[in-house]
Amino acid sequence: MTAAIEVEDLRKSYGEVQALDGLSLRVEEGEFFGLLGPNGAGKTTFINVLVGLVRKSGGHAEVFGHDVVDEYREARDAIGLAPQEFNVDRFFPIEEVLVHKAGYHGIPEDEALDRAHEALKRVGIYDKREERFDWLSGGMKRRLLLARALVTGPELLILDEPTAGVDVQLRHDLWEVVRDLNEHGTTILLTTHYIEEAERLCDRVAVVDDGRKVEVATPDDLMNRGTDTVTVTLRDAPAETPPLGDTLDRVESVELDGDRLVVRASNGGAVTPDLLNELEAMGHVVVDLDISRTSLEEIFVELTGDDR
């Protein structure tokens, strides 16, 4: 099957700064793919290479099998981009901005107008169609960027920090729109600082740092690599850490903190029943239990060494 995005050994340097340093990545058609990384990791540079706003220094990049340099027209026609920056034409009402954008992609004017209306309704700002961009609120501007990306009917939708600085309601609205698009076959590439977004939406995520891929996995896979924390509260505080038997081999550490026993294990849920049985066999009475799963954010910090 043709990949929606395939890049090999992608490089981009700005003088001494290596923004992309041999990035290789494959995003399958129809996938909801997340790109995580700290500021300056190279996420936006990577996106801009795909859409032609940055010239790569080396390597190879394709969108649906089309080289982004040699077959740039086919590659760009397949992409809808909602960028971080508000780069919208200020001279025209937003309805016309969308009609123009659709026109650049070869969509005849009548159809372009219908599509513009549909896109504006989809993101909930149809009533504002005759306003200019500068008169929209911050949230509406963000919605317009998504509408502009949708108006060309892209096979690949690229969302670069789409929910940065927006309220919770809008964030959920946008999630709903992109999830629906993905369910209907649109490939989505999402960069985000909100780990929760990646956890909720993405089939797979790539963690990128210093212009290189650090890891690619499903959010669940990544989370399974982390360490869970099982906190058992005992009725009577033991004088010393209880001497665990078979369970001890399956945990990473055991600490006693007053009446609380804190156990770290790679799979806390599987270890807990045996742990409780052992404690009860030793005569301890368990009065509370808490299992805290590793968050994707903690994995991310662990992988990139970034504690933002």
Partner 1 sequence: MRGLAVGTRALLKREILRYVRRPRNTFLPPFINNVLYFAVFGVILGSRIGSYGDGIPYIKFVLPGLVVLGAVSNGFENASFSIFHGRWNEYIHEVLTSPLSYRQLSFAYVAASALRGVLVGVIISVIGVVFTFAHPGYDVVGVAHPVYLAVSLVAVSALFACFGIVGGLWARDFDYLTVLNQFLIRPLVFFGGVFYPLSALDGVWYTVSLANPMVHMVDAVRYGFLGYAERDPALSLGILLVATGVVFAVDVALFARGYGLTE
The residues that touch partner 1, with contacts defined as CB under 8 A, are 14, 48, 51-55, 72-74, 76-77, 79, 81, 83, 85, 87-92, 97, 99-109, 112, 148
The residue type of 112 is: A
Identity of the residue, 107 or 140, whose beta carbon is nearer to partner 1 in the bound complex: 107
Taking the complex as a whole, the smallest distance from the CB of residue 87 to partner 1 amounts, in Å, to 4
Length, in residues, of the chain: 308
Taking the complex as a whole, the smallest distance from the CB of residue 224 to partner 1 amounts, in Å, to 38
Identity of the residue, 79 or 123, whose beta carbon is nearer to partner 1 in the bound complex: 79
Rg (CA), the chain: 24
Identity of the residue, 114 or 220, whose beta carbon is nearer to partner 1 in the bound complex: 114
Contact indicator for 244, 282 with CB cutoff of 8 Å: no
Taking the complex as a whole, the smallest distance from the CB of residue 26 to partner 1 amounts, in Å, to 22
H or E stretch including 206?
strand 204-209
Identity of the residue, 80 or 139, whose beta carbon is nearer to partner 1 in the bound complex: 80
Contact indicator for 272, 230 with CB cutoff of 8 Å: yes
Taking the complex as a whole, the smallest distance from the CB of residue 103 to partner 1 amounts, in Å, to 2
Taking the complex as a whole, the smallest distance from the CB of residue 108 to partner 1 amounts, in Å, to 6
Longest CA–CA span in the chain (Å) reads: 80
Taking the complex as a whole, the smallest distance from the CB of residue 75 to partner 1 amounts, in Å, to 8
Q: Rounded to whole angstroms, how far apart are CA atoms 79 and 147? A: 13
The CA-CA-CA angle for residues 128, 156, 133, to 5°, reads 20
Identity of the residue, 89 or 131, whose beta carbon is nearer to partner 1 in the bound complex: 89
Kindly state the DSSP code that residue 250 receives in the 8-state scheme.
Answer: G
Q: If you count DSSP H runs as helices and E runs as strands, how many of each does the chain have, helices first? A: 10, 14
DSSP three-state, residue 40: coil
CA dihedral 66, 71, 72, 78 (to 10 degrees): -40
Taking the complex as a whole, the smallest distance from the CB of residue 254 to partner 1 amounts, in Å, to 53
Taking the complex as a whole, the smallest distance from the CB of residue 136 to partner 1 amounts, in Å, to 14
Kindly state the DSSP code that residue 93 receives in the 8-state scheme.
Answer: B
Identity of the residue, 102 or 275, whose beta carbon is nearer to partner 1 in the bound complex: 102
Identity of the residue, 111 or 307, whose beta carbon is nearer to partner 1 in the bound complex: 111
Identity of the residue, 21 or 259, whose beta carbon is nearer to partner 1 in the bound complex: 21
Secondary structure (DSSP) of 13-25: EETTEEEEEEEEE
List all residues 6 or more positions away from 87 whose beta carbon is below 8 Å from its beta carbon.
none
Contact indicator for 298, 226 with CB cutoff of 8 Å: yes
